[in-house]
Structure 1
Amino acid sequence: MKHSIRKTVTRNFVALILLTVSLLDLALIFGFREYTYGGVKFYLNQQLDSAVYTYDRYFKSRSIDELLDGDYDMIFNQFGGQVQMIDKDAQLVYDSIGAINEPVKDYPDVIQALKGKADFRIGPVPYSDTKVLSVSRPLYSNDNRVIGALRYSSSLAPAIRSVWTLSRYLLLLTALVMAIAVVVSRMLAKSITRPIEEIQSTAIQLADGQYKKHIVMKRDDELGQLAQSINTLAAEIVRKEQVKNDFISSISHELRTPLTSIKGWAAVLKDTDPTETEVMNEGFEIIENETDRLSKMVEELLDFSRYISGRITLKKDRFDITSTCEDVWKQMKPRASKENIHLVNEINEEVVLLTADEDRLRQVLINLIDNAIKFTDPGGWVLFEARKNFPNYEMIISDNGVGMDENELALAKEKFYKGKHSNSHSGLGLSIADEIVKLHNGAIQIVSEKSVGTTIRIIIPLGSEADA
């Protein structure tokens, strides 16, 4: 792989170490050079201070020429380096090594000394291949006039050799550090990329449909969390796949049942004498009921398809939600009576105007009340409550039916989930109802207990325009 993470981590780590070590090397080299040059400068200044002190104490009354004629220049040659004397016209009149032709008048330290200021210079000279360090001081007469300058110089060759020696050692040390850095960075990169490669391998297997594959990784960092998330995703895919398969099996059976019943009674009616009114009516009634049942299942599937594809839109209008609830109660009362279920009306009569899709909310209420009746034994009750609880409108459907345990309750709104009760069907009704309520920015809350009953609370925001 041309641009692998392992190579990138190794390259970046080595580059960082190289940059750090190089900067440290440069700092050490320049620091050491300044230290050695400073040592030479300090020594020259000490020697020059001593010479200038001797001159000021004993020979200040003499001119430059008198000093040279009287061999007093020997006083200034005590430190053993190069000694130069420059007159007030910047002419080199004495040089202890005989470099009379040196252009001292162009040197900044000499220029400053003739102006009465001590100074120094580091640079090349005509008589040497190595730089020298020079310090210059002014010489004063008795009337405090500058009559010339005294200049001490020393070769920087030993200091330069010391700097180069240190540089070579640092270069060798840098090479060793970089070799170690390469090894360490490869180990570090491997420790990072190994779990990534494992995650990648598992992801490829998951993409290939091997959903039971899991990543075994005992880490508490981000990679560990990623592995755990992928494992959770795989487990959820397996669960969803199982739910989908159960749904397909269930819906196939449920579609087949009414079709079989319709086909069977169609064959019976075909061979039945039209005068047998009772048989004919019974057959037609069963065919009608099974057709309604089949139509409802197909409609649920179509509704669900619209919701998951995002093609459903609400047709909102201003209407009295209380009146809608009353209509639904009246519509469902015969259905409850037929199953010997007492459908209780606890709808507050207060007029409440709501901007929403009335047909869709009616669909939600019918679906949930129908479910409550379906899962309540004969002789039981279903309670339908509705009231304004600003800023929301609440519709509550309660029953004393079979109820749900915690596991069923957690999955009740899941798409394709089919309950354990024999009356459970496609598992889309509650899921569709939940989607409709969410489109109205509302929520469905479910409380249930096994063998005690279920309470479903539908909450729809009234909005700023809601009126009583």
Structure 2
Amino acid sequence: MFKKGLRRSVVMHYFIVVFLTIMIVEVIFMISIQAYYYNSISNVMTNQAYSSTSYYQKFIGTSYTENDTNYLPDLLKMFALENTELQILNTKGDVIISSSGFQVEKGLQTSDVIQAKNGSQSRWIGSQTSTGEQVMAVSTPLIDQGQTIYILRYVTSLEAINNKITSIILIAIGVGVVVLAVVLLISFGLANSIVKPINNITAFSGQMAKGRFDVRVEGDYRYELGELASSLNYMAEEIVRSDQVKNDFISSISHELRTPLTGIKGWTETLVSGNFSDPEETKLGMTIIAKETNRLIGLVEELLDFSRLQQKEVRLNQDPVDIVALLTETKLQVKTKADQKQVRLTLNVSGIPVPIIGDTNRLKQVFLNIIDNALKFSHTQSNIFIHIEYEPKECIITVRDTGIGIGEEHITKVTEKFYQVNPLGGGTGLGLAITRELVEQHGGRLSITSISGEGTSVIVSLPICDKVHDIIKDQAEEEELQA
């Protein structure tokens, strides 16, 4: 017997189901075959008995009395049935005469005889007391002038029929055994077709568990197994990609941290040495230290923000927010940086301005990051357009630049954590990931469209709550009245 496992389970379950099905079919077949043969014999004897009693009542019964038995041998010849013993019994159940010529036990009390005494025809199947042979008997009353005179009883042996039924059943059992053997072979093939690919996939998973992400599930599997193999291969590819992204991030963040730390250390050592006599140089050194310190704080805050967002620990202070005022303030905040790069910022609004519900500081963080990215990748003397559009159920903010754009291979990944289009370009690769998380926490959506070399559009959709819908409706009605 093969060892426990999926193969054994499939074979056993398949075998048991088919075995039980064959058993049920065999039992039904056996019962049906026996019933068919027994009913055929019973019908022949019942029809003969009916014909005999009808003939007796019409032509014979009135010519004789109950005590006159001289005509009984004639009745045996007249009502005889081939291969069947005919017995004539009195109303006590005693056999008066029999076509077999053998002496029969007195006082028969089988169910067919008892029913015949009561005036109805009946069938009985059982074993004869003297021989133990299984027989079928059909008894019917011979009625004259409303009274039962004799009982006509046909008796036939079932041994030959039983032997024939047994032969048929043995053949059926043999067929069932052959079917089970075929089913067993098929179930082995079916089990192997399932177990073999699972074993291959399990071996691949074991290699992955040991850190070998370069291996792939090989083989053209169908249906769910094919989907599982494809999913595992995709997972391995994503793990390799994520590992590469992680390595790029570590390299990038190391560079980002090393640069300001080097500057801080250099100026600190210089200031500690006391070699500066010029107050302006000292002030410059302190300014650089402060600037690099702020840069480090920004990096750490970005990492902490992302960690809190991943752990769902960021709590939003939900208040009415004027998006127009917020973006106007954000525009002024980045104006100095824009002027240095000679980039013009343009803000326009369409629709009826209404407040949304959100966290002012977090939303400012979202738009500062988006506009800062737009400035970072814009050409000198270019434009950045900020458009606010109010719709019945949401406020749509679009920030569009005319910069370098993003390639198609990067557009779907730029909002993933640690992902950078250019790993050597600086930054942590967390800015857009944090931005997307914050927008989604506000119940909104962030999408990016870009054409390489032509520019990028970042679209933020924020929902307007039901109370604001009423404000919009009231304002629209008021404008109609004024018009």
- Same topology, TM > 0.5: yes
TM (norm. structure 2) is 0.89
- 2:127 corresponds in structure 1 to 124
Once the two structures are superposed, the pairs formed by residues 136-147 of structure 1 within 5 Å of their partners are 136-141=139-144, 143-147=145-149
Aligned length: 466
- 1:37 corresponds in structure 2 to 38
Once the two structures are superposed, the pairs formed by residues 426-465 of structure 1 within 5 Å of their partners are 426-465=428-467
Segment of structure 1 superposing worse, 3-12 or 172-181: 172-181
Counterparts of 1:220 and 1:366, CA distance in 2 = 50
Segment of structure 1 superposing worse, 458-467 or 383-392: 383-392
CA contact (8 A) 2:197 2:221 kept: no
Counterparts of 2:83 and 2:13, CA distance in 1 = 54
Amino acid paired to 1:188: L
1:334, CA displacement in angstroms?
Answer: 1.8
- 2:403 corresponds in structure 1 to 401
Counterparts of 2:367 and 2:361, CA distance in 1 = 10
Amino acid paired to 2:398: I
- 1:171 corresponds in structure 2 to 173
Counterparts of 2:28 and 2:327, CA distance in 1 = 84
| SS of residue in 1 equivalent to 2:222 | coil
Once the two structures are superposed, the pairs formed by residues 227-376 of structure 1 within 5 Å of their partners are 227-271=229-273, 274-347=276-349, 351-376=353-378
- 2:479 corresponds in structure 1 to none
CA contact (8 A) 2:93 2:106 kept: no
CA contact (8 A) 1:326 1:347 kept: no
CA contact (8 A) 1:86 1:148 kept: yes
Amino acid paired to 2:22: V
Q: After superposition, give the CA deviation of every residue in 1:262-314 in whole Å (9 maximum; x if it has no partner).
A: 22222334456554233233323322222222211111111111112222222
- 1:85 corresponds in structure 2 to 88
Counterparts of 1:70 and 1:365, CA distance in 2 = 121
Q: After superposition, give the CA deviation of every residue in 1:310-350 in whole Å (9 maximum; x if it has no partner).
A: 22222222333332222212212122223332222325696
Distance 1:317 1:102, change over 3 A: farther
- 2:137 corresponds in structure 1 to 134
- 1:101 corresponds in structure 2 to 105
Counterparts of 1:251 and 1:320, CA distance in 2 = 35
Consecutive unaligned residues of structure 2, counting only runs of 5 or more, are 473-483
- 2:23 corresponds in structure 1 to 22
Counterparts of 2:23 and 2:197, CA distance in 1 = 33
Distance 1:101 1:24, change over 3 A: same
1:200, CA displacement in angstroms?
Answer: 1.1
| SS of residue in 2 equivalent to 1:257 | helix
Distance 1:281 1:300, change over 3 A: same
CA contact (8 A) 1:445 1:458 kept: yes
| SS of residue in 2 equivalent to 1:426 | coil
Counterparts of 1:190 and 1:89, CA distance in 2 = 72
- 2:481 corresponds in structure 1 to none
Amino acid paired to 2:253: I
CA contact (8 A) 1:325 1:386 kept: no
| SS of residue in 1 equivalent to 2:398 | strand
Q: After superposition, give the CA deviation of every residue in 1:91-124 in whole Å (9 maximum; x if it has no partner).
A: 54334454543543x3332233334332211123
Counterparts of 1:2 and 1:323, CA distance in 2 = 73
Counterparts of 1:341 and 1:281, CA distance in 2 = 30
Confirm or deny that 1:63 pairs with 2:65.
yes
| SS of residue in 1 equivalent to 2:132 | strand
Counterparts of 1:59 and 1:349, CA distance in 2 = 116
Distance 1:2 1:357, change over 3 A: farther
Segment of structure 1 superposing worse, 309-318 or 167-176: 167-176
Distance 1:204 1:152, change over 3 A: same
Counterparts of 2:247 and 2:407, CA distance in 1 = 23
CA contact (8 A) 2:127 2:133 kept: yes
TM (norm. structure 1) is 0.92
Counterparts of 1:376 and 1:159, CA distance in 2 = 102
Counterparts of 1:125 and 1:238, CA distance in 2 = 87
1:69, CA displacement in angstroms?
Answer: 6.2
| SS of residue in 2 equivalent to 1:253 | helix
CA contact (8 A) 2:302 2:431 kept: yes
- 1:10 corresponds in structure 2 to 11
- 1:156 corresponds in structure 2 to 158
Amino acid paired to 1:139: L
Counterparts of 1:344 and 1:276, CA distance in 2 = 43
Counterparts of 1:180 and 1:188, CA distance in 2 = 12
* RMSD value, Cα: 2.4
Distance 1:123 1:349, change over 3 A: closer
- 2:192 corresponds in structure 1 to 190
| SS of residue in 2 equivalent to 1:432 | helix
| SS of residue in 1 equivalent to 2:150 | strand
Which consecutive aligned stretches of 4+ in structure 1 deviate over 6 angstroms post-superposition? none
Distance 1:265 1:448, change over 3 A: same
Q: After superposition, give the CA deviation of every residue in 1:365-414 in whole Å (9 maximum; x if it has no partner).
A: 11111111111122222222224222111222111111111112121111
Distance 1:80 1:397, change over 3 A: closer
1:151, CA displacement in angstroms?
Answer: 0.8
Segment of structure 1 superposing worse, 47-56 or 155-164: 47-56
CA contact (8 A) 1:318 1:353 kept: yes
1:189, CA displacement in angstroms?
Answer: 0.7
CA contact (8 A) 1:399 1:455 kept: yes
Once the two structures are superposed, the pairs formed by residues 205-216 of structure 1 within 5 Å of their partners are 205-216=207-218
Amino acid paired to 1:36: Y
| SS of residue in 2 equivalent to 1:179 | helix
The alignment-based identity, stated in percent, is 30
